[in-house]
Amino acid sequence: MPERFFDPYRLIQAKLVSIWNSFFMQLPNLLGAAVFLGLVWLLTRLIRRWIKSVTRRHSRDDLGELLSSIATFTIMLLGLLVSTAIIFPSVSPSGILSTLGFGSVAIGFAFRDILQNLFAGVLIVINRPFRAGDVIAMDKYEGTVQRVEARATIIRTADGRRVAVPNSLLYTSPVTINTANSQRRDELAVVLAPDQPIEAIGESVTAELGKVEGVLDKPKPELVGQSIAADGLHAVVRWWTLSRGVDRQAVRAAAVAATTRAISHVSSTPTDSSTPPQASPA
């Protein structure tokens, strides 16, 4: 009479023995794949070091970082595919190539934003519209560029925050490079009373701003009237500073204080019309 039920213990034992035997049969392939990946890793280290040394000689450290990252990712991906063929001999080179073909299309759709940022980063470091140390402004962010990575450009704001701006956004949006030139102009809006002499205030503002450390003598500071409204004369105080090596916030604070002193000094000084006329000699 045939057995209607199988022994579960024997089934589990047979399955474990089969897995164990398969593991030992694949062990040479696993060791070969591990050795191959180790060699690929050493190769990526050498290529990464070579790329950085070449770009460093041309003072292009940012380009070296980006290209070395791309080369490392590409070589390690190819190494993983070849290791798969070593572990599973049934996988043919044509199968790997077809996998690369179809996989690249799928990866392109799945990682479209990542690839856009990658290619935009490559174009940024090649064209160099800005470089590390430049102060840039885009939308509501302004800060010093620290480095360009594969995904984003890292900037440090004046208040110490670290902002990662996507490379594709930087490449397709208007960006103000505040340190593109050696000098940079700053300004301050003021409102003067209708009875205040704008010429005298302008001379006093120019003299006071000339004493502020960081404000350049040429072009000299100036007070420019812009419009007349019900509340008084609207004017702008302008001064120039160096684009690099200057604490612009500290200079601006000192310029505001100097402008306030200049306006207060002229306002408290009696005008010529208030001076009583002197008697002429007989």
Angle, helices 198-210 vs 248-268, to 10°: value is: 140
From first to last of its 282 residues, the chain has per-residue pLDDT tens of 455 555 676 777 777 777 776 766 767 778 888 898 899 999 999 998 998 888 888 877 778 888 888 888 888 888 888 888 787 777 665 666 666 665 566 566 656 788 888 889 888 888 888 888 899 998 888 899 998 888 899 999 988 899 999 999 988 889 999 888 889 999 999 998 888 888 898 899 999 998 999 999 888 999 998 888 888 889 999 999 998 888 888 999 999 999 999 888 887 666 554 444 343 343
Structural domain total, the chain? 3
Q: Is residue 121 included in any domain, yes or no?
A: no
Q: Give this prediction's pTM.
A: 0.63
Q: How far apart are CA 151 and CA 192, in angstroms?
A: 49
∠ CA(107), CA(109), CA(111), 5° rounding? 60
- Same domain, residue pair 106 and 31: yes
Q: Is residue 88 included in any domain, yes or no?
A: yes
- Same domain, residue pair 21 and 78: yes
- Domain residues for the domain of 189 are 183-269
- Same domain, residue pair 194 and 149: no
